[in-house]
Amino acid sequence: MKLKTSILLLITLVYEIKAGTMLEGFYCGPENCYEVLGVSRETSKSDIAKAYRKLAKKYHPDLYRKEEDKAEAEANFKRIANAYEILKDEETRNDYDYMLDHPEEVYSHYYRYYRKRLVPTVDVRLVIAGTISVISIIQYFTAWQRYETAISFLLTVPKYRNRAMQIAKDEGLLDNAKKTKGKTKAEIKEKTETILRQVMENNIDIRGGNAKPEITDLLVFQLFFLPYTLSSYLYWYVSWIIAHNIRGLPLSDDEKLYLIRKHMKKGVTQFEALEASSKEEFIKQDLWIKEKFDAWAKEKEEEQKKQLAENARYKAYRRHVKNHGTGRMTFDDS
């Protein structure tokens, strides 16, 4: 019974398409879009526009005063405008012509029609530009948050706090804070913390992922300067090959540090965060040579294992694992 009903519905729809008509709300409804505008399928796009303008002037609702005539003109004006919207777009017109030529593909016609109606046509360039802008804004505020957190942490470290305190005293900044009259101890303390933070920001050089954010680090600027970055890298790479692989020139300290960073598999920001004394030590130990670096890395790994073995907490953990196993996390509240 269901199969017969489906076949009957399909035959009905095919008949409607063959007759040049469709259901209400689908293209031009029960009418043929070409006939609505008084043109044929061979009519050019410019002639279709002329026919539309001619009919639009004739049936514009503002030209009629009586309510009945005005309502009829408005209905005709909507029919004409709808037909023109379908035929003026090349892709939509092709879909409509395909429907007229292939009435048996009923469901595919519905898909093509409603795909254009329901899916908004958005310029991909605007979407990409908007996405890059949002990412850049989030990136900028996140970087500032990391930087502020790093400054707050350094203010709790006695070494850096005392240094900032000494600089503030030498410049007479703390004297001005304490001379403030009519202020409570809490307000004086808050003023002192603000001064120390400013001194810290002006005198300390934080590197790595917590460094003070630069506008050129944002994604939007990185993409803008990408051609320059790629050309600079290509120039550097070719220069490296010529200088060291062909001419056999010795490496500079910066080039040695570059190789060491690659051996350590660290990012630029991670490596820059290391102390200058550590980098000098790396160069003295010739860690830019792969064999020496591998030996050094293995030695460091053994030292870490030895330190863990001598650590009291680690020993207690090992005994616990030996006696009770690694344990499992459970969500059973019973």
pLDDT in tens, 123-156: 788 889 999 999 999 999 999 999 899 888 888 8
The C-alpha atoms of residue 147 and residue 153 are separated, in whole angstroms, by 10
In the predicted structure, residue 250 carries a pLDDT above the cut 80: yes
In the predicted structure, residue 157 carries a pLDDT above the cut 50: yes
pLDDT of residue 101: 82
What mean pLDDT is reported for the chain? 80
Per the model's pLDDT, the better-predicted residue between 316 and 54 turns out to be 54
- Predicted TM-score (pTM) of this structure: 0.50
pLDDT of residue 8: 43
Q: Helix H segments across 102-184? A: 106-118, 124-154, 158-170, 173-178
From 293, 272, 273, 291, select the one nearest 282 (Cα to Cα). Answer: 293
The C-alpha atoms of residue 295 and residue 301 are separated, in whole angstroms, by 10
Tokens of 34: 């070409």
The C-alpha atoms of residue 174 and residue 197 are separated, in whole angstroms, by 12
CB 192 within 8 A of CB 227: no
Name the DSSP class of 209: G
3-state DSSP helix/strand/coil percent for the chain, to nearest 5?
75, 0, 25
> How does residue 118 score in pLDDT terms, banded at 50, 70 and 90?
low
- Residue ranges and CATH numbers for the domains of the chain are 2-118 (1.10.287.110), 125-220 (no CATH)
pLDDT of residue 113: 62
pLDDT of residue 120: 59
From 222, 220, 226, 221, select the one nearest 130 (Cα to Cα). Answer: 220
pLDDT of residue 220: 92
CB 197 within 8 A of CB 160: no
pLDDT of residue 207: 73
Among the ranges given (81-85, 181-185, 276-280), the one the predictor scored with the smallest mean pLDDT? 181-185
Q: What distances in angstroms separate CA 291 from CA 252, 256, 257, 297, one per listed residue?
A: 19, 14, 15, 10
Tokens of 269: 């920001």
> How does residue 5 score in pLDDT terms, banded at 50, 70 and 90?
very low
pLDDT of residue 231: 95
